[in-house]
Amino acid sequence: MGLAGRIILGDCIAAMESLPPASVDLVFADPPYNLQLQGELHRPDDSRVDAVNDDWDQFESFAAYDAFTRAWLSAARRVLKPDGSLWVIGSYHNIFRVGTALQDLGFWVLNDVIWRKANPMPNFRGRRFTNAHETLIWASREAKARYTFNYEALKAGNEDVQVRSDWFLPLCTGEERLKDDTGRKVHPTQKPEALLARVLLASSKPGDVVLDPFFGSGTTGAVAKRLGRRFIGIERDPAYARAAEARILSVEPLEEASLAAFTTAREAPRVAFASLIERGMISPGTVLTDEKGRYQAIVRADGALVAGPQVGSIHKIGALVQGAQACNGWTFWHVNDNGRLSPIDALRARIREEMGVA
């Protein structure tokens, strides 16, 4: 088993410009945070906090950071497919700059998502609230994009309740945290795989191409490989890139059965109401009612419904009799099935079953 993706060594803007346009389904970016730490930070016991102050994280000014941000976001936008989307993670130091820049460039914000940390670092000086979260922005390439969102699958894994914009997850520690020979962490801001897993499961499909322009220790690549996505990682530090490659090589992809897309109600093939009549499931002249028997309509041979002087589709007539804006006729209208009311949607389900679509 190979890498199941590629790691490009070099500057992320140049590397993205070398990629073909509209070739990427999803971008996940964890850009430098522009932390303006003044001096070193010490814990109450005087031990030094291993803060994020590597060279790559220093920017002279907000203007320089903004220019850098616009440059990489523009490059990312070029390589994104029209229906692709982008995630960026950041903290209050940089996320407002990033959010403003991506809105200005035409990205369309879909959600901001809060990663609530289960075990954040306390505020040792007691001068602020414990900084217990980071912010992710999820945005489509443009306002009208038909982006991927696996709503039903996420809901099924979440007690049948739709997933909220605040996610509670532990930090990346322990076994998962990459360490070098001397036991020191390889990368200062390694993200937990659980976070990337949620991102990829929510907004990409198996086989999609996921680009991470700030690859670092390769969490995006590791999770992409495991979840059957392809990846492109760009990293300018050879040491990080080597660590990422070794890490990803040891990842086992999951079986297809635990990944396959399932057909949702939205994607299920259309069934015409007339086909119920053609198959003899409903006879012309049958009286349909709503669940409580308050409204009724008569089935015509051509699949239209009649309610008084009105003729129309099951949806139109359903809306009309209720005085509603819209109506799903499949769930609204019922037939009398041996003395019990049953929605005509049950008949549609039988047809779909025959068609071999669950």
> ∠ at Cα 207 (167, 172), nearest 5°?
35
Query: Among a copy of itself, DNA, none, what does residue 104 contact (CB within 5–8 Å per kind)?
Result: a copy of itself
Mark 23-32 as b/e (b = at least 16 C-beta within 10 Å). Answer: ebbbbbbbbb
Query: For residue 222, which of 181, 272, 172 has the smallest C-alpha distance?
Result: 172
State yes or no: residue 281 binds DNA (CB under 7 A). Answer: no
Placement of tokens 């029209």 in the chain:
82
Q: Contact 84/25 with Cβ under 8 angstroms?
A: yes
3 versus 163: smaller Cβ distance to a copy of itself: 163
State yes or no: residue 160 binds a copy of itself (CB under 8 A). Answer: yes
6 versus 144: smaller Cβ distance to DNA: 144
State yes or no: residue 185 binds DNA (CB under 7 A). Answer: yes
Query: Among DNA, a copy of itself, none, what does residue 338 contact (CB within 5–8 Å per kind)?
Result: none
Per CB under 7 A, the list member of 3, 4, 13, 41 interacting with DNA is: 41
Placement of tokens 């407002």 in the chain:
96
State yes or no: residue 341 binds DNA (CB under 7 A). Answer: no
State yes or no: residue 265 binds DNA (CB under 7 A). Answer: yes
Residues numbered 11-70 forming contacts with a copy of itself, rule: CB under 8 A: 42, 46, 48, 62
Tell me the HSE value of 262 on the side-chain side, using a 13 A CA sphere. 12
Q: Contact 41/48 with Cβ under 8 angstroms?
A: yes
Q: In angstroms, give the least distance from the CB of 238 to a copy of itself.
A: 30
State yes or no: residue 263 binds DNA (CB under 7 A). Answer: no
Query: Among DNA, a copy of itself, none, what does residue 341 contact (CB within 5–8 Å per kind)?
Result: none
State yes or no: residue 254 binds a copy of itself (CB under 8 A). Answer: yes
State yes or no: residue 178 binds DNA (CB under 7 A). Answer: no
State yes or no: residue 274 binds a copy of itself (CB under 8 A). Answer: yes
From the CB of residue 154, how many other CB atoms can be counted at a distance below 10 Å? 16
Q: In angstroms, give the least distance from the CB of 120 to DNA.
A: 6
Query: Among a copy of itself, DNA, none, what does residue 121 contact (CB within 5–8 Å per kind)?
Result: DNA
DSSP state of 48: B
Residue 2 φ then ψ, to 5° = -90, -150
C-alpha dihedral over 197, 65, 80, 241, to 10 degrees?
Answer: -60
10 versus 284: smaller Cβ distance to a copy of itself: 284
Per DSSP, the three-state class of 213 is coil
> ∠ at Cα 80 (75, 82), nearest 5°?
130
State yes or no: residue 106 binds DNA (CB under 7 A). Answer: no
60 versus 354: smaller Cβ distance to a copy of itself: 354
Q: In angstroms, give the least distance from the CB of 23 to a copy of itself.
A: 25
DSSP state of 305: E
| Site size with a copy of itself, rule: CB under 8 A | 103
